[in-house]
Amino acid sequence: ARDFGCKIVPGGLPARGRNEGAKVAKGDTLLFMDADNVFLPENFLSKLLAEFGRRKLGVASFPIYPNSKKIDKILYGIYNNFVNFTQIPYATNSVLVKKEIFEKVDGGFDEEIKIGEDHYFAKQAAKFGKFGFIKIEPVLTSDRRFIRDGRLKTYLKFILAGIYMFFFGPVKKDIFKYRFNSLKNNKR
């Protein structure tokens, strides 16, 4: 990021890092992406912003696919198509939001949430602006979590966390043992 002129801010876990980044951001639109995103398609940002503006969105997400096995692409495809079809405010891994809407969401990303802070943020932001899933060429994300934790275990955490969020709200207890810092040295 530094090589592209980005300002690096102290972060920590994703929610805190995103909130710290938003404090120093100068633009009207904020793009939050997980560090695991390893490939952005050509002209990604210009296409994303054009569609965001054309549809008059306030908050959006877009397709993310793992840079790994076909089964992962199929499972992520099911998720991406579900969100695209329903346009339910659900964001995985990445969120595009107008800064004015970000500021209306109490505290930005909830730093107490253990998993799914991006989903919860999109849901809260959609109360202040239109949500849309922007169907563009997907961003590829690392499969290092699947390799480290195992596919089945990782997908079970995703599914169980989704069910928990649906019935009980954000996951603020460490019931799923979802780890971030342990991936730092696993470059894949």
Domains, in order of start, for the chain: 2-142 (3.90.550.10)
Q: Model's pTM, two decimal places?
A: 0.87
pLDDT at 162: 87
Tally of residues, the chain? 188
Radius of gyration of the chain (CA): 16
pLDDT at 4: 73
Q: Are strands 59-61 and 94-98 parallel, antiparallel or unpaired?
A: antiparallel
The helix (run of H) or strand (run of E) holding residue 23 is helix 14-24
Residues 6+ apart with CB under 8 A from 160: 176
Residue 183, pLDDT score: 46
Those residues whose C-beta lies under 8 Å from the C-beta of residue 6, and which sit 6 or more positions away, are none
pLDDT tens-digit map of 2-38? 787 778 888 778 899 999 999 999 999 999 998 888 8
Compute mean pLDDT per 10 residues along the chain, 188 residues long, and list them: 79 88 94 88 95 98 91 90 89 93 94 92 97 94 87 88 91 77 49
What pLDDT, on a 0 to 100 scale, did the predictor assign at position 11? Answer: 79
Q: Which structure tokens are listed for 17?
A: 């890092």
